Amino acid sequence: MNSTPQTSIVILLPRDRMILQFRDEHAPSYPLSFANWGGSVEEGETAVEGACRELAEELSLGVDPTELIHISNGVFKGIPRDIFLLQRDVQLSNLRLGEGAGFVCVPRTALKNIPMNDILEDDLKKLDEYFSRL
């Protein structure tokens, strides 16, 4: 079993919209489904450094580590995982997809209408828990 720590990044835009990745058929887990951004933390990286690197690789989105809010850490299906929140306006036309089949921008209220895998469901649950603590 792979126990390499993972990161997941929720990108929340103004007006409660999210940018989700549509994973391609070659994705090592959950192919052809919607997901947040993220992946494995590389050796020598902190979780937040891994999250910043993943956003740069997957979306060509430069993010300073101080912009990411750590909303959860724990273990999901035996794999250590940190979830971060990026809350800022992002110009969709400036994004360049580096991984996956595509991306969508959807209101959080519309998420119930798209097919979700259990990782995305867990991310959204942790996001709701974070906002309930504020």
User: 75 to each of 3, 47, 50, 54, 60, how far by Cα in Å?
Assistant: 10, 14, 17, 19, 28
Residue-by-residue pLDDT tens, the chain, 134 positions: 468 999 999 999 999 999 999 999 998 888 899 999 999 999 999 999 999 999 999 999 999 999 999 999 999 999 999 999 999 999 999 999 999 999 999 999 998 888 888 999 999 999 999 999 98
Contact (CB, 8 A) for 9 and 88: no
Contact (CB, 8 A) for 21 and 99: yes
Number of neighbours of residue 80 by Cβ within 10 angstroms: 15
Q: Is 6-133 in CATH node 3.90.79.10?
A: yes
Write down the domain spans for the chain.
Answer: 6-133
Backbone angles phi, psi at 101, to 5 degrees: -90, -20
CA distance 83 to 79: 13
